[in-house]
Structure 1
Amino acid sequence: MAKYSEKSQEKVQEAMHEMKEGKLKTGTGKKVTNPKQAVAIGLSEAREEGAKVPKKK
C-alpha cells in the first residue's frame, strides 16, 4: 500500500470537508457530490504542491 504524506492527508481532509458543506467545485464550476471525486481533487492539489502522493493510474 502506498504511503501518503501528512500534507496530502490534510488536503484530502479539506476537500472532503468542503464537499460536505457544498462549497467544493469541479474545474467547470459544478458542485462535487461524489466522495471519490473529492478525494481525487484533494490528491491532485497535494500533488501540485509537491507532496508525496502516488502516481495517477
Structure 2
Amino acid sequence: MPRQTPAQKRKIDKVMHEFKDGDLKSSSGETVKTRDQAIAIALSEAGASKKDD
C-alpha cells in the first residue's frame, strides 16, 4: 500500500473510532459489525485504497 498523507491518517483514525464506538454505518444504513468491513470503509473514505500509477 502506498504511503498515507496526514489527512488520510486522520480520516482513517476517525472512522475506526466510530467503529469502536458502534456508530459506523455502511452505505445501506446497517451498523458495521466486523473490523475488516470498517477497515475497508476507512481506506475507501480516505482515498487510500486507490492504486497509485
Length-normalised TM-score, structure 1: 0.72
Structure 1 unmatched ranges of 5 or more: 48-52
Between Structure 1 and Structure 2, how many residues are aligned?
51
Unaligned runs of 5+ in 2: none
Runs of 4+ in 1 over 4 A off after TM superposition: none
- How far is the alpha carbon of 1:6 from its aligned partner? 1.1
Give the match for residue 10 of structure 2: 10
Decide whether aligned partners of structure 1 residues 41 and 16 sit closer, same or farther in structure 2, where only a CA change above 3 A counts: same
- Quote the sequence identity (%): 41
C-alpha distance in 1 between matches for 2:49 and 2:46: 11
